[in-house]
Amino acid sequence: MREISLVYLDRSGGLQKFVHDCKKYNDSKQSYAVYRFIISINPSDIAELDATLGNYILHNPIQAAQIFQSVCFIAIKTLSLIEQLQTEAQISILLKPTHLPPLPSYVLSLSAFPFNYTSQRFYISEGIAIAMGTVTKYTQGARFLCTEETCPFSEGRFRYIRVHMPGATESATVRNDFVCSLCSSPLQEDMKFRVLGDKQIVEMIDAKVLNALKGCSSDKSHFRIQTFTVFLR
């Protein structure tokens, strides 16, 4: 699937955009713990190229992103695109689909039953935004070092990298109880390598609420409309 991923990036123009993004990182004087890349993908084109990879992207996007992560790391090292990059863990890939199949199973409806949304795959969700919070910062990635000075992981290579994953809380990326796998000493964040991003919280409600506000009759004698929270990162 790595080979197919590279072929798709080359044919879709994604590889050219990736090289351009790498150049911006390489020219920057700022030090990064994590290099974040957004890759636009067309599920239909990928499925035609390789059905297995297309299905994998649609239903296991986090694992599929690791395939592209490996491909991008090899490309960076082969072409010497980012001199500061040391490990594959420093690359964060966000797959951004252009669309999803027009099938009911890809529509996230919190009013439908049963609620089978335990899988971390792509869904389409439509609703009305009734409240929006202010834009705040969150940690996309961070570097940690061992606090034991005699430990080889107390300096140098990017051994301990924490990258924010979709659905994770802030404490999963940055907190003070991480320990070194070599000497079990506490880890401390190297603040100069923290990578920040923007996030916004939006309160939404299902579009079906419009029928209730219009006074439309319903077959159900009682029903309840509940809002849901969306995190935009």
Six-digit token pair at 144? 């940690």
pLDDT of residue 226: 82
Do 13 and 78 lie in a common domain?
Answer: yes
Do 46 and 14 lie in a common domain?
Answer: yes
Q: Could you identify the residue written with the tokens 């966000």?
A: 94
pLDDT tens digit string along 175-216? 889 999 999 999 999 988 888 999 999 999 888 777 777 765
Do 34 and 46 lie in a common domain?
Answer: yes
**Closest of 40, 155, 43, 25 to residue 91, by C-alpha:** 25
pLDDT tens digit string along 66-122? 999 999 999 999 999 999 898 999 999 999 999 999 888 888 877 665 566 677 888
Do 214 and 126 lie in a common domain?
Answer: yes
**Closest of 43, 68, 69 to residue 55, by C-alpha:** 43
pLDDT tens digit string along 128-183? 999 999 999 999 999 999 999 999 899 877 889 999 988 888 888 898 899 999 99
Do 85 and 170 lie in a common domain?
Answer: no
**Domain boundary residue among 75, 99, 123?**
99
Do 151 and 184 lie in a common domain?
Answer: yes
The secondary structure of residue 183, as a DSSP letter, is T
Do 27 and 117 lie in a common domain?
Answer: no
CATH number, residue 91: 3.30.1640
Do 192 and 221 lie in a common domain?
Answer: no
Q: Is the pLDDT of residue 45 over 80?
A: yes
pLDDT of residue 57: 94
**pTM of the shown model:** 0.84
What is the domain extent for residue 51? 1-99
How many domains, the chain? 3
Do 205 and 152 lie in a common domain?
Answer: no
Q: How far is CA 84 from CA 18, 24, 152, 157, 195, in A?
A: 16, 12, 20, 11, 15
**Domain boundary residue among 99, 115, 144?**
99
Do 149 and 220 lie in a common domain?
Answer: no
Instruction: Name the residue type at position 233.
Output: R
Do 6 and 59 lie in a common domain?
Answer: yes
Do 124 and 145 lie in a common domain?
Answer: no
Instruction: Name the residue type at position 105.
Output: S
